Structure formats: C-alpha cells, structure tokens
Amino acid sequence: MRPFWMALLGLSAAQVKVGDPAPALQAPDEQGQVVALEKLRGQWVVLFFYPHDDTPGCTRQAKEFSRLLPEFRKAGAQVYGISTQSAESHQAFKKKHALTVPLLVDPEGKWAAAFGVKRFAGMCSRDVVVISPEGKVALFRQGVSPDTSAEEVLRWLKAQK
C-alpha cells in the first residue's frame, strides 16, 4: 500500500521492472481506434509518457518520435505517446505540429499507474517503456530528455537485433 501523501499527490509507488510481463491494457488513440497491448505481441512496442500536449518539451519529444517513426517501424516497433489529455486535445496537438505518432488517451492515468510512471497534478512524468515482442518489459527509462529520448530508444532497439 502506498503512503497517503503519494495517493494525495497522485504519485505511483511501484514500477514495472525489466523482464516483467507488460500489463494487459487497452486505450483509444486520438482517432478513437482502440490499442490493446495483447494484440501487439510479436513486435516491439515503444510507449513514451509525456506530461501535457502542446508544451515546449512535450512538443519537441513528440516531433522527434514522429520524425523517427519510419526508422522505428523498420526496426519492427510500434510507437505510441501517452498523456492524460483528451482525444480532442491530442487531435489539436497532432494537427498543430504535424505529428505522425499515435497518441493514446489515458485521462485517468491507468497506463501510467500500471507501468509505475509517476504522476503529479494529473500529469505523467517523462518516461519511456519498451515492450518486447514476447510481451515483456524490455526497457524502462525514467525522466528522459525530450530532445534525445527518441534517438536513444531507437539506438537501443537497433542494438537488440
């Protein structure tokens, strides 16, 4: 059980560890298409959690993942951004910045809680989770840089081949 002050602030206490099975989760993307982790088995899955749509750091990070999305796909990976904003907010964010990466809608922070991503004031910390084709957590990085996380994860992913 987590301390009451963590619950009060919306902070998570436990995080997944490398080798743990990925939680069985599903959520709609900004277009309403449901994404279920179980259905993505057989391929790498990159989840980048970010605090808020259309803020400077989050915009830079989402643009980098979008720019590198073809390279992630060549490496056999699906990439999803996750924050607690609505589908409408995600749609506006994608349109304004010509983003190509799908953005999952997680208003209650269920995905963040399941992976142990910290939350404060309803926003996720900037973390990255990579799930292996076997459905296990292969990489968990907390507090990543919005400017370099996409390239770092792509480099790590290519090294796994």
Summarize pLDDT for 97-133 with one digit per residue, the tens: 999 999 999 999 999 999 999 888 888 999 999 999 9
Distances (CA, A) of 89 to 29, 35, 36, 66: 11, 18, 21, 17
Of the candidates 138, 161, 137, the one whose C-alpha atom is nearest the C-alpha of residue 75 is 161
Name the residues annotated as catalytic.
58
Domain 4-159 has CATH 3.40.30.10: yes
pLDDT at residue number 14: 60
- Over the stretch 52-84, which tens digit does the pLDDT of each residue have? 999 999 999 999 999 999 999 999 999 999 999
Distances (CA, A) of 154 to 38, 65, 73, 106: 22, 9, 10, 24
Burial class for 15, CB neighbours closer than 10 Å (0-12, 13-18, 19+): middle
| CA separation for the pair 145, 147 (Å, rounded) | 5
pTM of the predicted structure, to 2 decimals: 0.90
In the numeric block, the tokens 């699906």 are attached to 78
Distances (CA, A) of 23 to 37, 69, 90, 149: 8, 24, 23, 23
Domain boundaries, the chain: 4-159
> Is the separation of the CB atoms in 137 and 98 below 8 Å?
no
